Amino acid sequence: MSTTPTNAFEWSELDERTVDTARVLAMDAVQKVGNGHPGTAMSLAPAAYLIFQRFLRHDPTDPSWAGRDRFVLSPGHTSLTLYTQLYFSGYGLELDDLKAFRVAGSRTPGHPEHGHTAGVETTTGPLGQGIANAVGMAMAARYERGLFDPDAPAGESPFDHTIWAIVSDGDLEEGISAEASSLAGHQKLGNLVALYDDNHISIEGDTETAFSEDVLKRYEAYGWHVQRVTPKPNGDIDVAALADALAAAKAETSRPSMIAMRTIIAWPAPDAQNTAKAHGSALGAAEIAATKKVLGFDPEKTFEVSDKVIEHARQVIKRGKAARDAWQQSFEVWRAAHPHRASEFDRIQAGELPEGWKKAVPVFEAGKEVATRKASGETLKAIGAVIPELWGGSADLAESNLTTIDEDSSFLPEGNPLKSASPYGRTIHFGIREHAMGSTMNGIALHGRTRVFGGTFLVFADYMRPAVRLAALMKLPVTYVWTHDSIGLGEDGPTHQPVEHLASLRAIPGLAMVRPADANETAVAWRTVIERQTSHPGPVGLALTRQNVPTFDREVFGSAEGTAKGGYILAEASNGDPQVILIGTGSEVQLAVKAREVLEAEGVAVRVVSMPSFEWFQEQDQAYRDSVLPPSVKARVSVEAGIAQGWRELVGDHGRIVSLEHFGASADYKVLFEEFGLTAERVVAEAHNALRSLEAVNR
């Protein structure tokens, strides 16, 4: 539908001057550093200013205020669009910060970085991630409302707020946006408003080179409320029409909203507007001077900002404080009416866990064979029963990766026919959308006050990788339940059997991978993940078996508590002075245990180390690491059903690595382990090879 301006809308000459100042700042900042993206920041200036000044509920003096709306700039390359509004609004950025755009150590890096610049809600750069984050934020806002104020009428809870996003052609071309937008429409996320900057320009030129679909028809098919705003005759944004569209979108609470806004990139630069060059290059001194003349600025001045402009723009602080005061009053009324829920809010806000929650962590009986995915599922249900802020689900694989935290409570909108459906349900059905699952989880974590997990097969972590990398970059407390962690899944064959994935994921800085050896290691791993999410922020991936594995008798073997340290002595050498150390992870630890029995019978003193997490082990002090892996014991053998990459550092020059350097096959997992040499016999042989290597050196 089209929108038309209303007579009630007011837009002063000072508003216009402030917007034009933002355009000038975008040109000057990019020109000063010599690189960047000025064009979109110029054309989007009226829209961003309108949102920050008239629609976004925020208090610039407290960027983390619990009652705020969220703003996501999905096309992170136009970071100046956001930085100028943060500067105008009084978030702490000043003119010198804009002058330092893209300079080392500045608060204005090339793409917005969460945790680096106040007011930046998420790190955006890779296109499509931001809109998917916004979908996650909208999901989290609804779940949070269910935790604290589920019975309030629509729009009357202090936990009702809006997620605003600006998206670009590039965002909508990336497949992740399709996944996330489909999910948002299915979930009827009426608290999400996306403004599509339809400027028809990409790096390669006009978007006709690659993009010609009717975006609004696509989003209408997803179940979104759609509107279109056309520009004024001179090519600039029709601010009054846009204001009407944003108001209508905010009022539409039964479905997410998409507004397609036609813009002219780099408007009103005389020669650069509507060109691909304006997307990612400085406009040049002559074009900037010409544009400043058009806008009524002095071509000889740079970074020209009048005191009146700043004084006018920063009136938003006063409006923000008033909005916050009004919110605080409603919040206090809620607190008085719901003391128990208020107590829960305070606990969660403080990052604390329910008293006595650890008692819910199960202990598994020794001797019984249990798949670690099954142990994970049982642990999740047990701790979920006492940690209400913990929620999550699966990319349509819940029956396989056992991530259903509550079978009677599905996070689904009103009107969904499933019996378990509730807009505030515990179990998320992400659908077959692994990439969107990863990025919406990031949005959920960024929103705050809940703890989220998401599951799929380990091999499909490839689909999630960009989102996982960003979770690590932002140090977000998200948990990945990656099951079917090796050729141990058997008959599904090499397409589903991860081989290189553990090494690949361990290569991501800030991501901790945990591959437990048995049920009790799995339970301790989950407990540790929950404990760490406040003190050690960052994502964690659990790699879990499909097949059953032995549950070790902890009266005979080392305590599973060692899991929390990443690596520990599972079985000590019979004489306490090992000649060989066998190191395993996951389902292969049992091979190391069997090999130890053979070697000890031969008179070789052998220690077995379970190493569920390289990353957690590396966090321990040197004394502890040396106590587990004494530097003096150089005969070491690792065993893991994956590629060898990453193991050499642990086994050393004389060590041997039992690994899998090729893809798997379709067969029973026991057949595959035997055929590919992942056996206790192979571990024994490699232990002897390691000892012979040392003997040769010592002769």
Burial (0-12, 13-18, 19+ Cβ within 10 Å), 667: middle
Structure tokens given for 412: 């689904």
- Alpha carbons 304 and 289: distance in angstroms, whole number: 13
Residue 533 identity (one-letter amino acid): Q
Answer yes or no: are the C-beta atoms of 517 and 586 closer than 8 Å.
yes
Q: Distance (Å, rounded) from C-alpha 407 to C-alpha 117?
A: 41
Q: What Å distances lie between residue 2 and 171, 185, 192, 197, 678, CA to CA?
A: 23, 21, 19, 16, 65
- Asked if 613 contacts 516 with a C-beta cutoff of 8 angstroms, the reply is no
Q: In which residue are the tokens 């199960």 written?
A: 362
Cα–Cα distance between 447 and 122 in angstroms, integer? Answer: 9
Phi-psi category of residue 305: left, alpha or beta, with phi > 0 → left and psi -120 to 50 → alpha: beta
Query: CA 90 to CA 56: how far, in whole Å?
Result: 14
Q: Residue 168 in contact with residue 474, Cβ under 8 Å? A: no
With beta carbons less than 8 A apart as the criterion, state whether 445 and 476 touch.
yes
Q: Is the dihedral of CA 694, 695, 698, 699 positive or negative?
A: negative
Q: What is the 3-state secondary structure (H, E, C) of 493-532?
A: CCCCCCCCHHHHHHCCCCCEEECCCCHHHHHHHHHHHHHH
**Catalytic: 434?**
yes
Looking at 356-472, which runs of residues are DSSP E strands? 370-371, 390-394, 410-411, 421-422, 427-429, 451-457
From the candidates 121, 179, 434, 521, give the one annotated as an active-site residue: 434
Pairing between β-strand 70-73 and β-strand 512-514 as defined by DSSP bridges: unpaired
Report residue 257 CA to chain centroid gap.
23
Q: Output the DSSP codes for 347-373.
A: HHHTT---TTGGGGS--PPTT--EEHH
For every residue of 588-652, DSSP letters joined together read GHHHHHHHHHHHHHTT--EEEEE-S-HHHHHHS-HHHHHHHS-TT---EEEE-SS--TT-HHHH-
Burial 32-70 (b: 16+ CB within 10 A, else e): bbeebbbbbbbbbbbbbbbbbbbbbbbbbeebebbbbbb
Cα(367)–Cα(549) distance, rounded to whole angstroms? 10
Tokens of 336: 């008085």
Q: If you search the block for the tokens 């200013």, which residue do you land on?
A: 49
Widest Cα–Cα separation across the chain: 95
Q: Annotated active-site positions, please? A: 434
